[in-house]
């Protein structure tokens, strides 16, 4: 974003440069040496500069007596770097540009309706496919638009203290242009079943009153100890710079073949570090993440970066050859990305280490982070608003009256909603392919949905298995639910409890395709089925009223044949590590046999 919009690879102070030969133009750039990314075009340029200096804004002001090429006139150049224009009059004085994508307006059009419409017209117009002047949704001939073209064709308007929006809406309707009226958010309430639970369900938690940031002694960021390095090596930080490189090179019309080269930083790369800039950026990131119990010393940063083995960096090797000064910014950018990730891991590692003696089995509470009050559902299809509004009103009414859905599963178009009686809240939601629907908290993916389907079928087919046991299921939210740093910051998708009088089985289940895991049968997420037993033994003394049995399973959405070819091991080897396959009709039965041997 820094490179694309502001033409810089690093943060810095905003500079406003009064271009004296170009009356009314003030150039915008980051730092004193970068190219201009924007232009202010106003009548009183000198007065504006004085006001900024008086205001003590932290913006650097300067003037240039020699620049004689208008930045404003460069806006429509094919490779123009001018991305921001400030000065609304330019939009109402007969100037045209196909590049307008966003307008931000302050105190504009207060009673100036005609000027507002002129301004909006500049932004709404676009070149269109084959110079047809139409948006892709309005083309008269058969052509497949690029996937994200609608984003590019959308004009976004932000306004403060401006009363023109009603006029603008009327103008757009006359022009037959789609508004944000094609997007609507609905709320769908959720019914908690916490009060229906007959058992005190146990969770792994930090003892009440314990706070790592406030109570631990201050940490100093250092090179990795042997123990921390071992943790990093098991779950390396991965930086794939290829996508970013493609984006950056496209802005300067360079052709670059996509290469998945793995590169390690060398001394010649670190020799050109802008250490002050990197240090400032890392401090800013530390403050943003509220890591206020960590101190960072500037001198340690190159020492961390020169150590290899804790990260994997993918970037074409040609772009890491130090044969031009323009590559220095990229090296600094990569180092910042690596150090931010290192700081995150450093914090999480020592937090987990410090909290370990304070972990206990506690009781699940009604306000646990894994419970939700409602879904926010965003529909991107104006033609469907009415029918979905009726659908959601109907679901609400059923939930209010019955506290459950009338049947296990129902579907409207590609919107699936279902109610598994053992899940601790209802409904659950899954979205098939079709019209665009976004759900928050995120809906179930196909593997997560299939797991619930198979679990329900097992329960329905084996009622005798639960005559003396109670089974409960709860989705486990990423980042805020129960996570396991020792397993590579692993947040399994589900927690399942099977409760008996004297025992409680707590099982963490993660339905997922396993081709994206590290290509190693001993990777931390798979090995968690073994390391969780150490956690079980350590925490058992914190629960005196019953025995707790911990287990972990991965329910693979990847087929056994594909997984075996990828990892180079047979199905039996996967199953011995509690990796079962959702393609198997008996996968839940296999899991239950492992959990509670007969």
Over 489-529, what HEC string results?
CECCCEEEEEECCCEEEEEEEEEECCCCCCCCCCCHHHHHH
Residue 416: left (phi > 0), alpha (psi -120 to 50), or beta?
A: beta
pLDDT-derived band of residue 457, with 50, 70 and 90 as boundaries?
A: very high
Average pLDDT on 73-94 reads 76
Among 7-11, 173-177, 241-245, 553-557, which is the least confidently predicted range?
Answer: 241-245
Average pLDDT on 324-351 reads 88
- Contacts of residues 538-546 at CB distance under 8 Å and 24 or more positions apart, as own/partner, are 538/359, 539/204, 539/359, 539/360, 539/361, 540/361, 542/359, 542/360, 542/361, 543/202, 543/360, 543/361, 546/501, 546/502, 546/503, 546/504
Percent of the chain with pLDDT over 70: 85
Nearest of 316, 314, 313, 312 to residue 257 by alpha carbon: 316
Per the prediction, the chain carries an average pLDDT of 84
pTM of the model: 0.67
β-pair partners for 238: 312
Q: Which residue has the higher pLDDT, 122 or 372?
A: 372
Sheet containing 503-512: give its strands across.
Answer: 470-475, 494-499, 503-512, 547-556, 579-581
Q: What is the pLDDT of residues 471-494, one digit of tens each?
A: 999 999 987 889 887 777 789 999
Q: Token pair for residue 351?
A: 């937090």
**Could you give the angle at which helices 113-124 and 165-174 cross, rounded to 10 degrees?**
50
Q: Do residues 466 and 475 lie in contact, with contact meaning Cβ atoms separated by under 8 Å?
A: no
- The confidence score (pLDDT) of residue 235 equals 81
CA distance 429 to 431: 7
Does the pLDDT of residue 63 top 80, yes or no? yes
Q: Which residue has the higher pLDDT, 79 or 142?
A: 79
Residue 115: left (phi > 0), alpha (psi -120 to 50), or beta?
A: alpha
Q: What angle do CA 449, 452, 458 make, to 5 degrees?
A: 145
Q: Token pair for residue 105?
A: 């307006």
Q: Which residue has the higher pLDDT, 91 or 481?
A: 481
Among 71-80, 340-349, 531-540, which is the least confidently predicted range?
Answer: 71-80
pLDDT-derived band of residue 160, with 50, 70 and 90 as boundaries?
A: low
Does the pLDDT of residue 79 top 80, yes or no? yes
Q: What angle do CA 442, 445, 446 make, to 5 degrees?
A: 160
The stretches of 311-418 forming alpha helices (DSSP H) are 326-355, 385-402
DSSP string, 565-579: HHHT--HHHHHHTTE
- The confidence score (pLDDT) of residue 67 equals 79
CA 217 to chain CA centroid, Å, is 31
CA 435 to chain CA centroid, Å, is 22
**Could you give the angle at which helices 587-595 and 446-461 cross, rounded to 10 degrees?**
70
Sequence-ordered strand ranges (E) for 380-488? 409-412, 415-418, 425-426, 428-431, 437-440, 470-475
Average pLDDT on 523-547 reads 92
pLDDT-derived band of residue 252, with 50, 70 and 90 as boundaries?
A: very low
Q: Do residues 9 and 330 lie in contact, with contact meaning Cβ atoms separated by under 8 Å?
A: yes
Cis amide bond preceding 497, omega within 30? no
pLDDT-derived band of residue 178, with 50, 70 and 90 as boundaries?
A: low
Percent of the chain with pLDDT over 90: 47
Nearest of 293, 294, 296, 295 to residue 215 by alpha carbon: 293
- The confidence score (pLDDT) of residue 174 equals 62
β-pair partners for 284: none
What does the chain come to in residues? 598
The stretches of 39-99 forming alpha helices (DSSP H) are 45-54
């Amino acid at each position: 974003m820094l490179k694309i919009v502001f033409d810089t690879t690093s943060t810095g102070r905003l500079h406003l440069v009064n271009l004296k030969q170009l009356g009314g133009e003030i150039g915008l750039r980051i730092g004193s040496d970068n190219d201009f990314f924007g232009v202010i075009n106003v009548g009183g340029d000198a007065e504006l500069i004085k006001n900024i200096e008086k205001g003590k804004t932290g913006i650097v002001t300067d003037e240039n007596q020699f620049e004689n090429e208008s930045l404003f006139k460069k806006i429509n150049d094919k490779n123009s770097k001018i991305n921001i224009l400030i000065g609304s009059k330019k939009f109402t004085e007969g100037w045209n540009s196909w590049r307008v994508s966003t307008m931000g307006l302050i105190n504009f059009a207060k009673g100036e309706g005609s000027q507002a419409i002129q301004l909006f017209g500049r932004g709404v117009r676009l070149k269109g496919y084959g110079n047809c002047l139409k948006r892709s949704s309005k083309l008269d001939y058969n052509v497949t638009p690029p996937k994200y073209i609608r984003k590019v064709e959308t004009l976004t308007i932000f306004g403060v203290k401006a009363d023109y929006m009603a006029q603008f809406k009327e103008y757009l309707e006359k022009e037959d242009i789609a508004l944000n009226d094609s997007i609507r958010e609905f709320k769908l309430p959720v019914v908690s079943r916490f009060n229906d639970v007959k058992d005190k369900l146990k969770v792994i938690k930090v003892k009440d009153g314990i706070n790592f940031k406030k109570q631990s002694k201050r940490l100093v960021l250092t090179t990795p100890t042997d123990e921390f390095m071992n943790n990093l090596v098991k779950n390396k930080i991965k930086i794939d710079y290829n996508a970013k490189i493609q984006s950056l090179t496209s802005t300067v019309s360079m052709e670059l073949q996509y290469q998945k080269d793995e590169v390690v930083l060398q001394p010649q790369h670190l020799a050109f570090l802008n250490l002050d800039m990197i240090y400032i950026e890392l401090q800013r990131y530390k403050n943003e993440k509220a890591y206020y119990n960590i101190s960072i010393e500037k001198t340690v940063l190159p020492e961390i970066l020169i150590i290899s083995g804790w990260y994997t960096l993918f970037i074409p090797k040609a772009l890491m050859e130090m044969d031009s000064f323009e590559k220095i910014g990229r090296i600094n950018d990569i180092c910042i990305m690596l150090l931010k990730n290192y700081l995150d891991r450093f914090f999480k590692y020592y937090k987990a280490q410090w909290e370990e003696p304070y972990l206990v089995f506690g009781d699940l509470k009604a306000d646990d982070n894994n419970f939700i009050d409602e879904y926010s559902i965003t529909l991107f299809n104006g033609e469907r608003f009415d029918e979905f509004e009726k659908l959601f009103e109907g679901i609400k009414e059923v939930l209010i009256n019955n506290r459950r859905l009338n049947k296990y599963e129902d579907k409207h178009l590609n919107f699936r909603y279902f109610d598994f009686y053992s899940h601790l809240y209802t409904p659950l939601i899954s979205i098939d392919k079709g019209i665009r629907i976004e759900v928050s908290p995120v809906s179930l993916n196909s593997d997560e949905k299939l797991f619930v389907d198979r679990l329900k079928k097992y329960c329905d087919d084996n009622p005798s298995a639960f005559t003396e046991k109670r089974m409960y299921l709860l989705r486990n939210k990423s980042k805020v639910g129960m996570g396991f740093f020792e397993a590579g910051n692993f947040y399994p998708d589900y927690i399942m409890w099977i409760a008996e009088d004297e025992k409680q089985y707590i099982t963490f289940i993660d339905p997922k395709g396993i081709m994206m895991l590290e290509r190693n049968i001993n990777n931390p997420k798979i090995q968690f089925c073994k390391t969780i037993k150490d956690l079980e033994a350590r925490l058992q003394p914190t629960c005196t009223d019953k025995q707790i049995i911990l287990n972990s399973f991965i329910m693979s959405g990847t087929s056994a044949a594909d997984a075996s070819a990828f990892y180079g091991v047979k199905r039996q080897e996967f199953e011995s590590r509690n990796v079962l396959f959702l393609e198997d009709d008996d996968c839940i039965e296999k899991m239950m046999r492992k959990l509670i041997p007969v």
